[in-house]
Structure 1
Amino acid sequence: MIEISVIIPCFNSFSLMKNCLQSLENQTFKNFEVIIVDDCSTDNTYEMLIRYMELSMLNLKVLRQIKNLGPGAARNLAIENAQGSYLAFCDSDDWYEDDYLEKMYNSCKMNEADIAICNYKKVFQNNFVEVNYIKENKLKNNKRNIITNSKTSLCLILIKRSIFTFKIPEIYNGEDMAIIPLLMTKANKIVCIEDCLYNYRIHNSLSLKNDKSIFFSIKKAYKYICDNWEIDGYDEELSFLGVKFILYGALLNGIRANIEKNIILNDIKLFEIQFPKWYKNTHIKNMQFRYRMFLFFVRFKLFFLMQLYVKIHSQQSHY
């Protein structure tokens, strides 16, 4: 019986997959399969993957979409074909530490957890490495804290397939953000690992910083969360996810991309209709001061100061 299915969507990216494939071959945990879904690449990625599969010792399947549908649809196809009891995810240009699967799997088993979450490193083009982590004692393995503080990447979790009951939405730059909080609500127990086990390759993202589509993707992601939120007694967490994703993430990216002022202010108004006392949310006090400053400007519709904040923090990555 296969314990873990590792799912990798790809599009025109075989030339960037060396580290990814090598890290899978180097895994200290051996009972896993790899499912790579080619999202109708226009180069020779699919042919090269077939050639690699024929030579590799990995338990590898290569599937192909009949048309380009995005990473969400590619992952859904892989999940449908997965045989593992657990699901893991990797992007084609990123890579695992050699003990990623072993530590994540053992943490789930030893703690009888449905989900394990790890930390990660950002690897920039000049090989500069930035470590990103949340200490386990900050979350205290508390479900409410984990839902509100969890990373927005499927690549940082190992999850029991039996609780992965949602379809990943096809939202460009927003599918992980939409699905992860919902998966967290399904878990009876979640364990956090302080180790940085995932390497996230950072490309030149200047074009993304002014991309209006990010603004709309974040809004679609939060709507997907609201439409599928089924857990009773967690309204405070749903509201806070909206504060993070809409009032901070979407608005910051919208202002950065020069979305019209009336659209920004209308989104604030719509959120206040849904959550009139959002600024009293108990989770806000745990946010960094700079985030709370922006939210202060949002609460009082101080658009000029919101713009100034975005200008000062324009070098930050998007949510």
Structure 2
Amino acid sequence: MQNEKLISVIIPFYNIGEFVKKTINSLDSQTYRNFEVIFVNDASTDNSLQIIEESLKKVTFDHKIINREKNGGPSPSRNIGLKEARGEYIYFLDSDDFLYKNAFEESINLFEREDPDIVFFKFKKVDENGKTVQNYNDIFKDVKKIEKNRDILIKYINLEIFLYTCSVIYKKKVLNNIFYNENNETHYYVEDQDFCIRALLNSNKIGYINSELVQYFKRKGSIMNGKFNIRRLNKIRLFDTLYNEYKTKDQELSNVFLKRRSKEILWVIRSYIKNETDQNSNQMKKYIKENILTTEITSYLEWKYSKKLNIKNIIQIFLLRYFPGCFINLAKLL
């Protein structure tokens, strides 16, 4: 134990209830034992704190609970945990997700063998009954065990691979001056992506474990699975910010961010169409025109930007701009 490096696990929670028990049990089953867990209570109003306190009486790992007086969301809670962390490695775990018992051991072995700055692994998405909703390779590709940060970043932006919050372990030094953005107006829905991209940009070598080591719990009522929220436009603005940040210093990366910005416009609008099934096409056209296709967003669809996309996306953008009714009907089928 003397030579084993410490992993700091940061778990924000808010009104999580009984779901957290499985998460705690999965931590206590880890074969690699040198880790601490920092629970950050985001001013829960139910009995979550009591459930966690009672569950922690049975565990053998180091832990602490930090209580916040005011609810602020997961980003400030994660930042509090990050500042408190003592470990050489940082891992963010959601309070309803489940780790496989070899997750830390596999990750530490790769860190020790190859010395990457970041390690990520596969995940499986499950529903409240434990039924598989999506396996990693249903959508995403495998990569080499070790790759350069730039190659991983580009694959991540292009959605060839995916790093979600609980499938990544960082060397703490990589996160120097990197924190979750706490501005809910600009980073609601995108704080995780923004953090991950900044960390990848600040790293050199990335490790990949070709094994499923965590289950992502798709819970009804969670932020990412709720009804359409206009703040999903933040996904577009995130990639606009990155595009403008890099367009004068890295042409390749700026082009990658630019393409993703255009794709996000299509995805955000399709998300609205698929979620608001109680509205007819005329109502949808009116909402899209007044609330999504603002002057700012419409300017991103100009030909000088969209010509860099593939033909499928170019056609969709053309329909969206000039024949929105046809785009709506197409989006319902996609």
User: 1:288 maps to which residue?
Assistant: none
Q: Name the % identity.
A: 23
Partner SS for 2:45: coil
Q: Does 1:248 align with 2:263?
A: yes
Code of the aligned partner of 1:24: L
User: 1:309 maps to which residue?
Assistant: 330
State the Cα distance separating 1:13 from its structure 2 match.
0.6
Q: Relative to 1, partners in 2 of residues 1:306 and 1:117: Cα closer, same or farther, differing over 3 Å?
A: farther
Return the alpha-carbon distance in structure 2 between the equivalents of residues 255 and 54 of structure 1: 47
User: 2:174 maps to which residue?
Assistant: 163
User: 2:136 maps to which residue?
Assistant: 132
User: What's the TM-score once normalised by structure 1's chain length?
Assistant: 0.82
State the Cα distance separating 1:77 from its structure 2 match.
0.2
Return the alpha-carbon distance in structure 2 between the equivalents of residues 163 and 231 of structure 1: 24
Q: Equivalences for 1:205-284 in 2 at 5 Å?
A: 208=225, 210-222=227-239, 225=242, 234-244=250-260, 246-257=261-272, 258=284, 259-261=287-289, 263-264=292-293, 266-271=295-300, 276-277=304-305, 279-280=307-308
User: 1:147 maps to which residue?
Assistant: 153
Cα shift readout 1:174-195 (whole Å, capped 9, x = no counterpart): 2101111111011110112221
Aligned 8 A contact 1:210 1:253 in 2: no
Aligned 8 A contact 1:279 1:299 in 2: no
Cα shift readout 1:204-260 (whole Å, capped 9, x = no counterpart): 369946422342332354356458x5798544334323433x322344223543542
Partner SS for 1:93: coil
Q: Relative to 1, partners in 2 of residues 1:221 and 1:201: Cα closer, same or farther, differing over 3 Å?
A: same
For residue 118 of structure 1, the aligned residue among 112, 121, 146 is: 121
State the Cα distance separating 1:161 from its structure 2 match.
0.7
Q: Please, which moves more after superposition, 144-153 or 294-303?
A: 294-303
State the Cα distance separating 1:304 from its structure 2 match.
3.6
Return the alpha-carbon distance in structure 1 between the equivalents of residues 113 and 247 of structure 2: 26
Q: Relative to 1, partners in 2 of residues 1:191 and 1:233: Cα closer, same or farther, differing over 3 Å?
A: farther
Q: Please, which moves more after superposition, 38-47 or 212-221?
A: 212-221
Return the alpha-carbon distance in structure 2 between the equivalents of residues 53 and 132 of structure 1: 31
Code of the aligned partner of 1:166: I
Partner SS for 1:43: coil
Code of the aligned partner of 1:52: S
Cα shift readout 1:5-31 (whole Å, capped 9, x = no counterpart): 011111011311122111100111111
Structure with the greater alpha carbon radius of gyration:
2
Partner SS for 1:116: strand
Q: Relative to 1, partners in 2 of residues 1:127 and 1:295: Cα closer, same or farther, differing over 3 Å?
A: farther
Return the alpha-carbon distance in structure 2 between the equivalents of residues 139 and 13 of structure 1: 35
Code of the aligned partner of 2:293: I
Partner SS for 1:69: coil
User: 1:317 maps to which residue?
Assistant: none
Return the alpha-carbon distance in structure 2 between the equivalents of residues 63 and 311 of structure 1: 45
Q: Does 1:294 align with 2:313?
A: yes
Return the alpha-carbon distance in structure 1 between the equivalents of residues 89 and 271 of structure 2: 39
Give 5+ residue unaligned stretches, structure 2: 157-161, 273-283
User: What's the TM-score once normalised by structure 2's chain length?
Assistant: 0.79
Aligned 8 A contact 1:123 1:202 in 2: yes
Code of the aligned partner of 1:141: E
Cα shift readout 1:276-301 (whole Å, capped 9, x = no counterpart): 44543xxx67xxxxxx6235422673
Cα shift readout 1:99-134 (whole Å, capped 9, x = no counterpart): 111112221221110001111101123432121134
State the Cα distance separating 1:84 from its structure 2 match.
0.4
How many residues get paired? 301
Return the alpha-carbon distance in structure 2 between the equivalents of residues 25 and 236 of structure 1: 44
Code of the aligned partner of 1:132: Y
User: 1:65 maps to which residue?
Assistant: 68
